[in-house]
């Protein structure tokens, strides 16, 4: 009953598969999802457990370093390919896909774009293969969107920086129930002030560094339960000077160069949720009858299905067009990367909500998938930038 239905063809147009390589990538991931991801999704959601073994298989498929140049062990693909991967994985298991995004976009792509040659050659092959798991640590217990308010500090003492502070809501912050920390974490910290403003710097923290540990695994989340979320603690953490990314004070530059691909892939996750929810509505409306007629013959149900289809298509065009125009090595279109996440994430949640309404009582239980999609969808309106932050950014950019 929870089988991933793909009878509704919503992705057969050139905008979504502009080259044969993109088409083959989508087909490969969809086959993998049906065979490997879908059968385990409900179990791992209920157990609040990250499927590390399955995650490592994404490395075998070349997905963990999807945007990384081949010279460093990646697949050398473009932002469109990243969008395809996130839509297809999220259509089955958004929680698992979020762990993938935190690794492949927030850590791996970040390092590929902003790291030094030595850092890239040493670390990227490990995280592209799946041998090592990466995370990104920005949010703190008292600060989220307000990154300049972060309290974590780093002070250079001899050949090491001494890192102190706590990071909160970190996807992949731990990788198992035992609280094992991620192998590599991309950490932002304050290294002083300049012109009266905090100077933020970026550090590559590695498992085994003294003073780096998991504070707690965050449990009982509403959704995205198949990805691990944790608090990270840095208590006089010793970070070698060579693990500074770029120069002191360059974090804002790093953030801006990676923010667009982060937000467009989060929007792609919402597309996957929306598409799967629409498929569930169509399938159920054909199979279920009321008053002697199939559900799809009733106007109320027709409205849910028709509006969801039109909104999904419109949003997909916006997301894929934005990805098509995106460059991985430079910021240049924050307006639309904010725009696609603003519109797609709420759309994904709303279409999942409609699917529950169409399925009625069956939609309200986990066995029929849309309940899980609905719970997972809410996080996308918060993580990677809140809706309110996108509204502020878009308005500010437009009035300039």
Catalytically active residues are 262
C-alpha dihedral over 358, 361, 365, 371, to 10 degrees?
30
**Do the strands 134-137 and 184-194 form a parallel or antiparallel pair, or are they unpaired?**
parallel
Judge contact between 394 and 335, C-beta under 8 A. Answer: yes
Region of 221 (left: φ > 0; alpha: ψ -120 to 50; beta: rest) is beta
Place of tokens 């298991």: 93
Tell me the DSSP string of 40-55.
HHHHHHHHT---HHHH
56 Cβ contact list (under 8 Å, min separation 6)? 130, 131
Neighbouring C-alpha atoms within 13 Å toward the C-beta of 235:
7
Q: Which of 109, 108, 86 is nearest to 98 (CA)?
A: 86
| Three-class DSSP category at 198 | strand
């Amino acid at each position: 009953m929870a089988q991933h239905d793909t009878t509704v063809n919503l992705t057969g147009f050139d905008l979504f598969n502009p080259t044969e390589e993109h088409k083959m990538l989508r087909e490969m991931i969809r086959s993998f999802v049906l065979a490997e991801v879908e059968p385990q999704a409900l179990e791992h959601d209920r157990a609040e457990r990250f499927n590390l073994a399955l995650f490592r298989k994404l490395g075998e498929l070349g997905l963990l370093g999807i945007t990384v140049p081949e010279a460093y062990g990646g697949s050398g693909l473009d932002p469109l390919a990243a969008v395809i991967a996130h839509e297809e994985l999220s259509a089955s298991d958004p929680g698992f896909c979020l762990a993938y995004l935190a690794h492949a976009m927030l850590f791996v792509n970040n390092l590929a774009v902003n790291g030094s040659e030595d850092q890239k050659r040493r670390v990227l092959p490990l995280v592209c293969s799946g041998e090592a798991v990466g995370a990104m640590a920005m949010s703190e217990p008292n600060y989220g969107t307000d990154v300049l308010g972060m309290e974590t500090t780093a002070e250079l003492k001899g050949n090491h920086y001494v890192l102190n502070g706590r990071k909160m809501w970190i996807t992949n912050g731990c990788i198992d129930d035992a609280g094992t920390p991620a192998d590599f974490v991309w950490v932002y910290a304050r290294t002083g002030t300049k012109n009266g403003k905090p100077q933020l710097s970026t550090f590559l923290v590695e498992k085994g560094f003294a003073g780096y540990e998991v504070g707690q695994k965050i449990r009982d989340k509403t959704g995205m339960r198949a990805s691990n979320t944790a608090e990270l603690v840095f208590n006089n953490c010793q970070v070698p000077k060579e693990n500074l990314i770029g120069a002191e004070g360059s974090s804002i530059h790093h953030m801006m160069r990676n923010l667009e691909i982060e937000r467009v892939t989060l929007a792609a996750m919402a597309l996957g949720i929306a598409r799967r929810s629409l498929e569930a509505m169509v399938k159920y409306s054909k199979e279920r009858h009321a008053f002697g007629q199939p559900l799809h013959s009733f106007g109320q149900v027709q409205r849910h299905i028709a509006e969801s289809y039109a909104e999904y298509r419109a949003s997909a065009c916006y997301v894929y067009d934005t990805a098509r125009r995106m460059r991985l090595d430079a910021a240049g279109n924050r307006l639309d990367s904010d725009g696609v996440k603003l519109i797609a994430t709420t759309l994904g949640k709303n279409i999942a909500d409609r699917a529950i309404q169409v399925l009625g009582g069956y939609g309200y239980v986990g066995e029929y998938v849309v309940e899980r999609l609905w719970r997972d969808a809410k996080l996308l309106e918060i993580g990677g930038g809140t809706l309110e932050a996108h509204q502020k950014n878009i308005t500010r950019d437009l009035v300039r």
